Amino acid sequence: MIGSHFPHSGPPSRNTPACAMTAPDHGPQTALSSGRKLFNSFIRHVTWNPEGLPAPDSFRLDRGSCHLATHFDSRGLGKGDLNAQAFDNGLMASMLAADLHQPVTRLNTRGDTFAPAVSLQMMMGGRIEWVDGRGQSHQSHRHHELWTFSGLQHWQRSSMLPSLLSQTHVTASVELLARWQEDLPDGEGRRRLQHYLDSARAASHYHAQNLPAAMGGIALRLQALLQDRTPPTLARRLQIEGLATTLLGLWLEMPEQATAGSRHRWQRAVSDTLDIIHAEYARNLSIGDLARRVGLNECYLKRAFRERTGMGIAACVRQLRLNTALALVEEGREPIHAIARHVGYTNPSHFARAFQEQHGFLPSEVHPDRSREDT
């Protein structure tokens, strides 16, 4: 998570028991579950050392149960906790609570590899600044923000500023979102999950918005459960998993909000789509093919296209085909069956039916070289 790192997570302090760094022996090694892979990637993400900062007073990492509990208390730096719990199904919850007296800054010098399908970063307090791969600065402007990340974030620098930090994170793996998507009927929820799967696999996504009060309350309850540094009991694990799943469910019900940057990208994609349609309207243009060619998720392309044109993509293609057909029929230079093929209809009867639905009369009723109003 951007802005969520520990002051130092290299070798633990001398007071940290060595057993806290190793996983229990669970017998022969098997393929890692999506949750364990997510947890291991998260550990690499949060645990490299900004130069010159003190080691944590407590660092307990149990890879067997996918549990991390870390605490530091430094007179000059401040004190805080960074804890996490992952589950085999590909879900992970984590928290950061700290009272910082000086900034903690990390540079992405070795290349971050943490690329979840979706990560919800609920900011209940504190100040975070980070610079993305393009050099653009981002910061938390107020309490109760929701930052949503997907895919590998290309960032240069991340800083936790002196303040009372309070964050709760819920993260889902690509495998988990893919399973959820398979169980959903076609609709907005399925398309939204596909957008985040696409971002995780090929691109990246970042969005900041207000944190709804309902999510904020649950995030605080989840943070309290995670803040206990002792290994979680079954009852506590079930509560953590339930609250994390609830937060993802509430997030899925939230209406999508486009940022100014994404709006510009959507409008450029719609313009490119219109250019393709006008040049290739006679071809069998699928929405999926158009979305891939203009570089935008199908769901967002359809939404932005309708907002701009007042109609769906398929309706626009159909209207262009039939308006072109009317102009060609009125010219009278080609037979109707040739015009039908020219505008993309292989079946003359289907063409005639669509033509009548669009214009209110059959193509055979049009007099060449004369408009319909003159007949």
Highest mean pLDDT pick, 90-94, 205-209, 333-337: 90-94
CA distance 354 to 340: 11
Would you state the pLDDT for residue 202? 60
Q: What is the mean pLDDT of residues 266-277?
A: 90
Reported as a single tens digit per residue, the pLDDT across 127-160 is 888 887 777 787 776 568 898 888 776 677 888 8
Asked if the model's pLDDT at residue 169 lies above 90, the reply is yes
The C-alpha atoms of residue 114 and residue 183 are separated, in whole angstroms, by 26
Q: In this predicted structure, what is the pLDDT of residue 11?
A: 43
Which residues are CB-neighbours of 375 under 8 A, at least 6 positions away?
366, 367
The domain made up of 316-374 has a fold known as: Arc Repressor Mutant, subunit A (1.10.10)
Each residue's pLDDT tens digit, 272-321: 999 999 999 999 999 888 988 888 778 778 888 988 888 999 999 999 99
Instruction: Please give, one letter per residue, the 3-state secondary structure of 253-289.
Output: HCCCCCCHHHHHHHHHHHHHHHHHHHHHCCCCCCHHH
Query: What percentage of the chain reaches a pLDDT higher than 70?
Result: 80
- pLDDT surpassing 90 at residue 54: no
3-state secondary structure of 119: strand
The rounded distance, in Å, linking the Cα atoms of 291 and 277 is 12
User: Distance (Å, rounded) from C-alpha 375 to C-alpha 365?
Assistant: 10
Residue 260, C-beta contacts closer than 8 angstroms, at least 6 positions apart: none
Indicate the pTM of the whole model: 0.64
* Cα gap 281→287, rounded to integer Å: 13
Q: What is the pLDDT of residue 265?
A: 75
Rounded CA-CA distance 333/340 in Å is 13
User: Both tokens of residue 277?
Assistant: 């349609």
E strands, the chain, are 58-62, 67-74, 78-86, 91-100, 104-107, 118-125, 128-132, 137-139, 145-151, 155-160, 164-172, 204-210
Most confident of 9-18, 68-77, 234-243, 276-285: 234-243
